[in-house]
Structure 1
Amino acid sequence: MRAVTPRPEISVLMPAYNAERYIRQSIHSVLSQTFEDFELLVVDDGSTDTTPEILASVRDPRLRVLRNATNLGVVGALNHGMAEARGRLIARLDADDLCHPTRFARQHAFLAARPSILMVGTNMSVLEAGRIRFTRPQADPDPLVLRWMLHLGNPIGHPSMMFRAEAVARFGHYLQEAYRSAEDFDFTHRLLSHGDVAVLPDHLVIYRQHAQNVTRVRRDEMTDRTAAVLRRVHADLLGTDPEDSHLAREAGLVATHLVARHPVPDRATLVQLGAHLTRLLDAFARRWNPDERQLARIRATAGRTWWRSAEQAIAGGQVGAATGWRGAGQPWTEETRPHPIQVARWRAAGLARAVLPAPGPRTQPVPPAPRRIALAGVRVEEEPHPAEDPPSLYVVVDTEAEFDWAGGFDRSLTRVTAMREQHRAQAVFDAYGARPIYVIDHPVASQPEGWEPLRDILARRAGVVGAHLHPWVNPPFEEPISERNSFAGNLPPDLEARKLRSLVAAIEANLGVRPLFFKAGRYGLGPHTFQTLAQLGIAVDFSILPLADLRPRGGPDFRAVRARPYRVPGGEVRTIPMSRTQLGLLPILPPPLLRALQSGRAARLHVPGLLARAGLANLVTLTPEGVPVSELLRLIDTLVRRGHKTLVLHYHSPSLGMMTPYVRTPEDRAAFLRALEAVCRFFFETIGGLPGHPADLLPPRLREALWPGSAPAAAAARQPARL
């Protein structure tokens, strides 16, 4: 990683109090940013759990831990961090939230191009019980319209903010204790007195919703402090005394019913809210002189906000549908009047709420016991994964020589010309902050034409390398060439180990990094493979193809394996299968039927194709090679709905050189790249998942060993990698 400069470009402030459950994930989401010139200041606010130990285990020079002797609260902790921050820009993230890897890069570029903007936030998605929910964009992209919206609520989430440190210096301090629980809202309005603020439309921060959220625990205090901020802001806009009791009541109504969204008790309150919004709207227009387009959006925002409160009151039974339908008697409520059918639906919801019993508390399902299976003669255990975590997508590239897929195994086929084309797919992953794991075979690792294109990717921290063992092109050459010996796990244990050591040595010599990831060519795991991986310090294996029976060709039997991570006994190695499952109306077939379905006779009779076209049973793997985009997206959706958290997208590097059966022409390659783009867009933008950082698969002490030049960590990698 880049060395920390005396004054990094960005300082990231993260307060933490008893944050052991989520803080490691939050920190990793920061350390995984594609923009790397930052420092992360975690302020341990007197934690009494294992938070200090977790912080001590993170080995990254960009992390600085500050400790408060006593618990000061969020305001005190953040002010402590602000006093120690060295960056020109300040970014925020809470110890239970996550950010997408391109967040800092996008916010930094936005502020660099717009000197008049003092702060920029982003839209935030919500993570609750393991499900990502995209909220509608609350903030308008126009800074003037956003300024108006901040008179009615707080559309900028504090964890998403990035602001200029010099702006804080103008008014002397960051957050005010007097506005605790609404300190970010107060801070935003103090910024507005010196310049503009903005919000990016992208959902770049994931807000984790759980029972301990401050926004849930301190709702009443938050409403009171929000009202205090609004009273000050509304008084300034209207030119009245902030202590005026009538203004205080109206600001309180806005905080209670428009911000906290408590239902209004009656029609009179709705009308009073409408009248107050009209006065604010007129005063805002006089002061800021919006153009016609801006004024229309400002009025529309006021109307939508008021009608949202009316909807809640009608659906809750506090206000009759006919009464609510008459609106607030203001022109802007008429312009945004909903359809009568919509109002009728609100009323029906209110009647149902009055008649039907309230739902009982949700019960959390009991997680099943860990599943144990035999894998290549080794007993492995399925890893538990917290149901509340978001799904992550990892990319594994079989980076290999250009073999003759239709011919036999030939030691002379070691060309690697397709490596010069890898930048095409890498550009797709760069756009989403995904970092592929290039598992490379010996021809790639030993020839400059193979490994030189990877050097730039490693230098940019845009991807990592692992080992990919193809025995017939990997020295030493002591075994006869045969299909059975093409599965490395079938070789004598000593020969398999020496071949793997030879491959690791070539990777170290030419790329300056020791591989921590492994994938057996042709999924050729054997009974001694995991032991050899542990001895070489390789921590993560990708050599499993779920539900596949490779025994007819001499390979292993994976019919009992599900597409979930497994841990090898002793904890030295974890194995993460490819993402593959059966889609269709039929349940996953038992092993005997799976073997029959995958047999040569079934293929000659076109049984798999008939079952797939009938929508009954179709084995689908998450790869753009030979799988339609529609099936890839369906597979992702199915796995996520079934609770899978770790998904793996994979393909072969020669496809980009048009040298596989799947990609033969420029048109094929263009379709291949479109498929990669479609998968990324669907997973990251529609599903709301995160790009999996390879480091997140490793134990903390090995995170530094991913990149060239990390000698101490590379030395540690030579030891068994206990997870």
Structure 2
Amino acid sequence: MTALGSQRFLVTVDTEEEFDWGSPFSREGYGTRHLAALPKFQELCDHYGIKPCYLVDYPIMEDPLGVELMSDYVHSHRAEIGVQLHPWVNPPFEETLSHHNSYACNLPPELERAKLTTLFNTIVQRTGTTPDAYRAGRYGAGPHTADILVDLGLTIDTSVRARFDYSEQGGPDYTHHPVNPYWIRKGSLLELPLTTVFSGAMRSAGNVVFGEWFGSQLARSVLARSSMLERIALTPEGIPLAKALEGIDLAIEERIPIINLSFHSPSLAVGYTPYVRTEEQLQEFYAWFSGVFQHLHDRGVRPTTMAEIKSASQFPWLG
């Protein structure tokens, strides 16, 4: 199926500070207390033989526990470290704080470069490892991002949330981007999109129907309830386990070479994201992972890593 031998899956974690998702962006008032909950998730991954990729941002590298955990996981070969840029908490601080500027792609190119370079060098210096992968915070990659990543030596970008549109918020539109991996710079920078599938009778025309004909939440809810069309992102945040298992089966059917699962690290503790407000929801969160990991195992889809993808000698699905 691929240079990796078969369909594989990857676990990517937006490893970031806690902040109020409903408040204006701020350079102060955030926390990193949820890091104490990270070992439990890592132990679950260890149990299933999974090496997650922690895409860390600057506040995580300012926290001694964050540096300790990331360094330990990578040097004990239990996980990988990648890069995630939240511009509003990442120096240098030259831009006006705003919703628009929370997307790194909206910054002047030289400032996006300066922030990314600062973060990359900080990760290397404090953990003793050189990351291979990048995800723009809020999925905010833009026309200058690829050049910066290539210059830093990063070989994989995973900023694209295929089949999602953030343009009304000032961000990118990924509605028609491929869900399969593809070259951004042939031979030097690979795009590894987050996995989202369509289900329902109209799934073959999902992008057009979901993104262009029925753009309102109400219309999309009607489509889902009628089993005509539903978008399933492979994340525990807002996607029930049963839907995720359906989505995995569809991804296998579609022969997506690498199924890219993702979530935000503050969801591993109670009270930091809209998805985990109670202990019961946290238990459901972990039940999601256990169910998904077991289902992937049962379907014969094995885990992979950024390093393994990078070292694959060829990518036949890319052409």
Whether TM exceeds 0.5 here: the answer is: yes
- Note if 1:653 corresponds to 2:265: yes
- Note if 1:630 corresponds to 2:242: yes
Task: Mark the CA change 1:470 to 1:579 in structure 2 (over 3 Å): closer, same or farther.
Answer: same
Residue 612 of structure 1: aligned partner: 224
1:537-576 map, 5 Å: 537-576=153-192
Residue 667 of structure 1: aligned partner: 280
| Consecutive unaligned residues in structure 1, runs of 5 or more | 1-129, 131-384, 702-723
Report the RMSD for the aligned CA atoms in angstroms. Answer: 1.8
Q: Percent identity of the aligned residues?
A: 34
Deviations 1:437-484 (A, max 9, x none): 000010001221322222321232100101000100111111111111
Task: Mark the CA change 1:592 to 1:641 in structure 2 (over 3 Å): closer, same or farther.
Answer: closer
Give 2:112's match in structure 1, choosing from 477, 496, 507.
496
Alpha-carbon distance between aligned partners in 2 of 1:608 and 1:443, rounded to the nearest angstrom: 36
Alpha-carbon distance between aligned partners in 2 of 1:598 and 1:661, rounded to the nearest angstrom: 25
Deviations 1:144-181 (A, max 9, x none): xxxxxxxxxxxxxxxxxxxxxxxxxxxxxxxxxxxxxx
What is the CA distance between 1:526 and its match in structure 2? 0.6
1:703-718 map, 5 Å: none
Deviations 1:508-563 (A, max 9, x none): 12111122110000100110101100000001111011111111011111111121
* Paired residues of 2:134 and 2:159 also in contact (CA < 8 A): yes
Alpha-carbon distance between aligned partners in 2 of 1:679 and 1:590, rounded to the nearest angstrom: 24
* Paired residues of 2:13 and 2:263 also in contact (CA < 8 A): yes
1:65-464 map, 5 Å: 130=1, 385=2, 389-464=5-80
What is the CA distance between 1:644 and its match in structure 2? 1.3
Residue 251 of structure 2: aligned partner: 639
Residue 96 of structure 2: aligned partner: 480
| Consecutive unaligned residues in structure 2, runs of 5 or more | 314-319
Alpha-carbon distance between aligned partners in 2 of 1:406 and 1:597, rounded to the nearest angstrom: 28
Deviations 1:566-621 (A, max 9, x none): 1123422101000102111113436554334674xx12xx2222211111111111
Task: Mark the CA change 1:682 to 1:427 in structure 2 (over 3 Å): closer, same or farther.
Answer: same
Alpha-carbon distance between aligned partners in 1 of 2:63 and 2:221, rounded to the nearest angstrom: 41
**Which structure's relative contact order is higher, taking Cα pairs within 8 Å and 6+ residues apart?**
2
- Count of aligned positions: 312
Task: Mark the CA change 1:613 to 1:433 in structure 2 (over 3 Å): closer, same or farther.
Answer: same
Alpha-carbon distance between aligned partners in 1 of 2:143 and 2:199, rounded to the nearest angstrom: 31
- Residue identity matched to 2:286: L
Task: Mark the CA change 1:530 to 1:672 in structure 2 (over 3 Å): closer, same or farther.
Answer: same
Residue 678 of structure 1: aligned partner: 291
Q: Secondary structure at the match of 1:568?
A: strand
Task: Mark the CA change 1:698 to 1:611 in structure 2 (over 3 Å): closer, same or farther.
Answer: same
Alpha-carbon distance between aligned partners in 2 of 1:517 and 1:509, rounded to the nearest angstrom: 17
- Residue identity matched to 2:246: R
Q: Secondary structure at the match of 1:409?
A: coil
Give 1:535's match in structure 2, choosing from 146, 151, 158.
151
What is the CA distance between 1:700 and its match in structure 2? 6.7
Residue 251 of structure 1: aligned partner: none
What is the CA distance between 1:392 and its match in structure 2? 0.6
Alpha-carbon distance between aligned partners in 2 of 1:669 and 1:598, rounded to the nearest angstrom: 33
TM-score, normalization by structure 2: 0.93
* Paired residues of 2:198 and 2:206 also in contact (CA < 8 A): no
* Paired residues of 1:446 and 1:507 also in contact (CA < 8 A): no
- Residue identity matched to 2:176: A
Deviations 1:613-669 (A, max 9, x none): 111111111111110101101111111111112001111000012211001111111
TM-score, normalization by structure 1: 0.42
- Residue identity matched to 2:274: P
Alpha-carbon distance between aligned partners in 2 of 1:466 and 1:693, rounded to the nearest angstrom: 11
* Paired residues of 2:210 and 2:220 also in contact (CA < 8 A): no
